[in-house]
Structure 1
Amino acid sequence: MTVPDLVPIRHEPHFRTSTIGLWGGGQFFAHLSGVFAGRDTDGRVVRRWYSALHEFDVDGQHLDSHIKSAETIADGPERVPVVEAAQRLIGEWLDSLPGRRFADIVVAPFAVEVDGILFGLVLECRGEYPEGEEQEDWAEFYPNRLGFSAPWDGLCDM
């Protein structure tokens, strides 16, 4: 089944889609992303942390993305202040959206690149289909790796 023109994404309050919804200018999807950046000399995973807010019009078309990089830091207790600061920034951005309320959204695929990292809702294909054609059959939200597919009920596949 091919990806619909507009992909439904369900608001789940205590899950990875807890910061999506509607505002006076349309729809939004805010998120915190820890992007793998390697390992430190002790073997700990190092991540570059990003705050992101994607804005869409009422018809689900991408309008703008606000993406700000925080610090690059190894996993461990010292990363807590970095993550908290990135989350505070997301909270400030969300508070600035007039009429904001958390809710389900329906948005078109889009892509934005920052620091060589892909942010967006990108169409993906599992492989070839009959008669050698390729069909885009799911949408993946990057860099968080949230997958959306049939039956297109807005729930993400893990």
Structure 2
Amino acid sequence: MDLPDVIPIAHEPDFRTSTIGRYAQGQFYGDIHGTDIDGLGEITVMLHLFDHGGVHTGSTIRSRIPLDDADAVLAELLSQLPDAVFGDIAIRLFQVVQDGVRFGLVDESHPDRGGASAELYPQGMGFFPPFDGLYDT
């Protein structure tokens, strides 16, 4: 099986894809990512935007956000999207690099690893056949 042009991502309330959906101009994928491994208590907040056909149109990536502020920063970004509704999305491959970190949905297909697959970075969420919107971590 080949990698589809558009990859569905299922909305899962209260889980890793709880802040994805559609808005007046297209689709969005919002997330908070990072760990407090270095003890600084800072995290990355991201909002990726797509047109109705799933083509990436831009990203807002805010690094080094205090851990306690991350939810509010994401909520602020999402509040700026007109007519936003959480739900399933379907997007195309894209890639953005900021501060040396890769963000995006990247083709990770390889015949030795079972064929077609895509991975969402930096979240580490893998999408595989039958490409039904569900993912593995």
Provide TM-score, normalisation by structure 2.
0.91
Quote the offset at 1:127 in angstroms.
4.1
Match of 1:7 in 2: 7
Instruction: Confirm or deny: 8 A CA contact 1:70 1:86 kept in the other structure.
Output: no
- 4+ residue runs over 2 A deviation: 125-129
Give distance in 2, aligned partners of 1:92 and 1:17: 17
SS at structure 2 position matched to 1:85: helix
Instruction: Confirm or deny: 8 A CA contact 1:32 1:50 kept in the other structure.
Output: yes
Match of 2:43 in 1: 49
Match of 2:118 in 1: 139
Quote the offset at 1:137 in angstroms.
1.1
1:1-158 matches, within 5 Å, as 1-34=1-34, 45-46=37-38, 49-71=43-65, 82-128=66-112, 137-158=116-137
Give distance in 2, aligned partners of 1:28 and 1:12: 14
How many pairs are equivalent? 135
Instruction: Confirm or deny: 8 A CA contact 1:35 1:143 kept in the other structure.
Output: no
Give distance in 1, aligned partners of 2:35 and 2:97: 13
Structure 1 gap segments, 5+ residues each: 37-44, 72-81, 130-134
Give distance in 1, aligned partners of 2:35 and 2:95: 16
The residue type equivalent to 1:21 in the other structure is G
SS at structure 1 position matched to 2:52: coil
- RMSD over aligned CA atoms reads 1.9
Provide TM-score, normalisation by structure 1.
0.79
Distance 1:95 1:103, change over 3 A: same
The residue type equivalent to 2:120 in the other structure is F
